[in-house]
Amino acid sequence: MYRILIISTLALLALGCQDPKDKYLEEFGMFINETELDLEEYTDSEWAEIEYSFAFFSGEEFEKHGDKLNDADRKQIELYRERFKKLEVKRNPVENLLKVIGF
């Protein structure tokens, strides 16, 4: 019983001590993955919230951690942005036609 308590406590400490930059990258990735999985389920108002969250991760949080990001981190964030752009097009191809052709 004490082993489980000690292991759980150590796991929580490890998560709590996680580098903020790494936590940002992990949360951004989980957001993109969940959005891809549930894309067909979102209502228009839910999608508006998803777009707001994406803007937060892609903009405000990116700027907050920007000076700590290395080239691999920046490349990963760009991949997240590209994946989200594809989700936008998939969700509404007519409105996002310009994104499809690269404008």
What is the tens place of the pLDDT at every residue in 44-82? 999 999 999 999 999 999 999 989 999 999 999 999 999
Between CA 75 and CA 98, with CA 36 as vertex, the angle to 5 degrees is 70
Quote the pTM value. 0.76
DSSP annotation of 68: G
| Residue among 61, 74, 60, 51 at smallest CA distance from 23 | 61
pLDDT category at 1 given cuts 50, 70, 90 is very low
Task: Name the residue ranges covered by the structural domains of the chain.
Answer: 19-100
Q: Count the residues in the chain.
A: 103
Measure the CA–CA gap between 15 and 44, rounded to whole angstroms. 34
